[in-house]
Structure 1
Amino acid sequence: MVTGPIEDKRRYRQYKARTQRLPATYHTAIDALQRYLRFFRPSDKADSLLATLEDLADLFEQSAANGTPLREVVGGTRWSSPRRCLRTTRRVSGSAGSGNG
Structure 2
Amino acid sequence: MALRTFFTQRGIPALQKRFFLQEYAHTMKNGQLEDASRLSNRLARAESSEKLQERYSRYQRFEKPTKKRQRLKSELKYKHEKEKVRKIKEWIEDNRAAKK
**What's the TM-score once normalised by structure 2's chain length?**
0.29
TM-score in terms of structure 1 length? 0.29
Q: Higher helix proportion, which one? A: 1
